[in-house]
Amino acid sequence: MTATELTARALLLDMDGTLVNSDAVVERCWRRWAAAQGLDGDRVMSVVHGRQGHLSMAILLPDRPMEQNLAENREMLATETADTEGIVPVPGAPAFLASLAGLPHALVTSADSRLSQVRMAAAGLPYPELAITAEHVGASKPDPEGFLKAAAELGVDPADCLVFEDSGAGIAAGLAAGMRVVGVGPRAAAHHPTVQVPDLTAVRVTARPDGALLITV
């Protein structure tokens, strides 16, 4: 397959499914929640990736008070944070993140700060200096707020940012922010990212003399 070259001024990175493979934990926790609610597990799993938990709950149980969703999401976050069994890096993620040392990039995740730190550590990955987590936004992906906030913090125009995402909600958020999106992994393929890669193994990032980043995927 012919390599694609993109240029950007900053890279904005999702975590779950993009840098960290946490599917085993997500499946355990959310299928258990689905069973307790009498919901179909496959239906629940088709919704939860990329979104904050309370928004997923609101979609799946639209008649339930948001206060209950928020309370259950706090319990879910505690459960997920305590469960690190099966967490591994997405193939290529360690070398990819190492190549970004000193370059403009940020983590933009629907996880809260504690969960994101625990999962990155469990996968043996360095935690980026700038992280936009659930506490920093008022709206969950697919709203673009998180990506726009990261771009503003880095001082980079949204059009000059390149997003790496795996979920439909995340890809929609990146595109809505006016950014190009590299879809990572099999989940991304159905959601029309700008470019699609199976994992991060073949992704290369090079800093040019003018400060721009050349990304080969």
Establish whether 16 is a catalytic residue: yes
To which H or E segment does residue 149 belong? helix 145-154
Catalytic residue among 14, 112, 160, 199: 14
Q: Where are the alpha helices (DSSP H) in 14-139?
A: 23-37, 41-48, 53-60, 66-82, 93-99, 113-122
Catalytic residue among 16, 112, 143, 166: 16
Give the closest residue to 76 by CA, choosing from 44, 108, 123: 44
Establish whether 143 is a catalytic residue: no
CB neighbourhood size of 43 (10 A): 10
CA distances from 144 to 35, 139, 149, 154 (A): 31, 8, 9, 16
Write out the catalytic residue numbers. 14, 16
